[in-house]
Structure 1
């Protein structure tokens, strides 16, 4: 998991794909975090991406850095634990200007389950990592 986290963190921006009915949706993200041995992302509770993940939690993200790219596909699970939300916002302090935690807060954190990452390039065989 650390290899996947480090790759995505160093890339800084990844693109998250969800499904909206029968239409794929892709948007840039920047949050990635390890908490309690799980890989997390964060979004806002009122955003369309949150609704899409809740309707179909199967997602894929993609990021590129230095001639390599990663694809991480899996299922996202909403974690309503305030400690998980706080941990994410501690990691990304600038987000505290926009997001708050707790039952009345507007932040949502999800962790990956049943996930597989593939790191590829044109110069080496794919590296497959099960999370």
Structure 2
């Protein structure tokens, strides 16, 4: 059970790291956008500047698509990790049943890295 707790802690840390990365990227994008808007208010509306803004917008759209794809992959990876944790928990619970009458709960075996486990969970 301690292994399961550790895996859950690890998953939560990964999720938090992904959210922090997203927040940093979003903040950076908003700062760039604010800078462009402030520059646009000065009245310098040349074609070159418009072209530059268009290129920047296209780059930002591409970055956003890549970020969404990254987030989707992270969610898929987390879901797969949770499925594996669930399989581990089910396997551990199945193998923690007392073999003999009178076996105390504290004497239960945790079988999580046996070849049988690998075949059943990863199989």
Higher strand content, 1 or 2: 1
TM tier, shorter chain?
Answer: under 0.3
Normalised by the length of structure 2, the TM-score is: 0.21
Bigger radius of gyration, 1 or 2? 2
Q: TM-score, normalised by structure 1?
A: 0.20
